[in-house]
Amino acid sequence: MKENGLLAKAIFFRGENMNITIINDCRDANAVGRQIARTSSLLDSPVSFVGVTSDIQAAGNIIDILDAIEENPGIILVNVAPRNGRAKRWENGTPFGYFWYKKVLVLASIDGFTLSFVKKFKLTKFVTVLDVPETLDQLIAGGALQNNLKDSITRTQFRSFDFLPRVAAYLSNGKKLRGEKLYIEDVSDAPPAIWWIDNFGNCKTTLLQEDVKVKNRFSSKIINLPYFSRLKDVPDKTPAIISGSSGLGEERFLEIVVQGGSAKKEFNISAGDAII
């Protein structure tokens, strides 16, 4: 069967090279350990973990992990789902949705900017949004879940542990789940901002080269910098904008850097800051 022009059925190889990555804002040692243990045991594969603090950080890491996996099979589990503020409108946090990109299953919370780069890179036409109780009924009917677990999973405050790994295991075995379509054009666009700061103080922006019309200079309300295609070409101690290492295929996010220094410190930048 076809979905979004890609294979809807998972290409899943137990015991072979399967990349599973969790991207999550529940990132303390206890939460990380429990998520990895549950996911690894259900999917019989090693699991890596990326801790984030916001939906825009999750968005960028989805792209970077897809880029790292390349043409290999994989699963990415993403959850940035606070229960406070505007999230109160949901029954128990933002819903989850899934789609396939090549051989990779992406299962993610759908609110905010989490899927904004999926939209920017045109990775899918739509996301299948799951209703938790209905999804659990489908897992029970398919023999993948005991009936007595439904109520506790529906109410859980830790869906990354109780819900996502079970759904991933079910889908990875070539099954499908019913849900409503969220068309990708209805996902929020990522604002011009900083989505990640690495340990060197290099600041990854949400912009690609095609987003900046003047190719030899980058200007915003906070910075006015020369552009270089590579970090190597930036003169020592010079602030600049470069095509960074993050991105997918030939499309790379622009980064604010200081050669031999820290752009974070130079411009007092924090992750999430707007750049225009």
Which sequence spans correspond to the domains of the chain? 2-186, 194-267
The Cα–Cα gap between 198 and 271 comes to 10
For the packed helices 164-172 and 132-141, what is the interaxial angle rounded to 10 degrees? 50
Average pLDDT along the chain: 89
**What 8-state DSSP symbol labels residue 118?**
H
In this model, does residue 14 exceed pLDDT 60?
no
Quickly state the pLDDT bin for 216 (edges 50, 70, 90): low
Strand order of the β-sheet with 47-51 is: 47-51, 19-24, 74-79, 104-109, 96-101, 126-130, 180-183
Q: Does residue 94 surpass a pLDDT of 90?
A: no
Domain spanning 194-267: CATH 2.40.30.90: yes
Asked if residue 239 lies in contact with residue 225, where contact means CB atoms within 8 angstroms, the answer is yes
The stretch 143-147 carries a mean pLDDT of: 95
Q: Mean pLDDT throughout 77-94?
A: 68
Which architecture, in CATH terms, is 2-186? 3-Layer(aba) Sandwich (3.40)
